[in-house]
Amino acid sequence: MKTTKKHQKYTEWLSAEEMHSASKQWLSELEFIEDEHLFFNDLIMTFTSELIAPDKFSKGRELIDLIYQSQKQNNVLQKAVKTHENDLQIMVDGVNQIKEEQAYMEEHLGLISLINDFLKDYRVLKRALFDLIKTIKKEDKLRHLINRK
């Protein structure tokens, strides 16, 4: 006889206030990331000549594409969080709508996963961009030191 393992998935039932607070936090983080994307664009414009150098071109182009994709995903997530926040009325209207409330909870849990994945990928992107800029700055400093001698 074969035995199969079943994995029970226990989910914590969050209150409307907790979900509202989480949504506000997500929106704040996403809006901050939107501002950081503008900073990244300015940074890229500042270092364009170094980024188009043959040894940095492919990495620079890849990062620019990833930043663009991150901006698009950020916009989509902001709209989803705003819609989710507006739909919170289902949870606080005082009417027992079990299916709608359960669907809202599942949507909230899905957003938790999406936001966490996005933030993790964003941190990796940010680190890669800063590492590339740091390398460019070090090479530039070394070049100036060599020319100075």
pLDDT in tens, 22-37: 889 999 999 999 999 9
Residue that has been written with the tokens 């009417």 in this structure: 95
Q: Quick one: pLDDT at residue 71?
A: 96
Is 98 a member of any domain?
yes
Domain total of the chain: 1
Question: Rounded CA gap, 17 and 38, in Å?
Answer: 32
Helix (H, G, I), strand (E, B), or coil: what is residue 13? coil
Q: Quick one: pLDDT at residue 8?
A: 45
Is 6 a member of any domain?
no
Q: Summarize the confidence of residues 90-98 as an average pLDDT.
A: 71
Is 8 a member of any domain?
no
Is 5 a member of any domain?
no
- Long-range (24+ apart) CB contacts under 8 A made by 108-116 are 108/14, 108/19, 108/22, 108/84, 109/11, 111/26, 111/80, 111/81, 111/84, 112/22, 114/77, 114/80, 115/26, 115/29, 115/30, 115/77, 115/81
Is 2 a member of any domain?
no
Q: Summarize the confidence of residues 38-51 as an average pLDDT.
A: 89
Residue 10: pLDDT band with limits 50, 70, 90: very low
pLDDT at 6 over 60: no
Is 54 a member of any domain?
yes
Q: Summarize the confidence of residues 83-107 as an average pLDDT.
A: 79
Residue 1: pLDDT band with limits 50, 70, 90: low
Return mean pLDDT, the chain.
85
In this structure, how many other beta carbons lie within 10 angstroms of the beta carbon of residue 11? 9
Residue 3: pLDDT band with limits 50, 70, 90: low
Question: Rounded CA gap, 63 and 21, in Å?
Answer: 33
Is 10 a member of any domain?
no
pLDDT in tens, 119-146: 999 999 999 999 999 998 888 888 877 8
Range of the domain at 66: 17-148
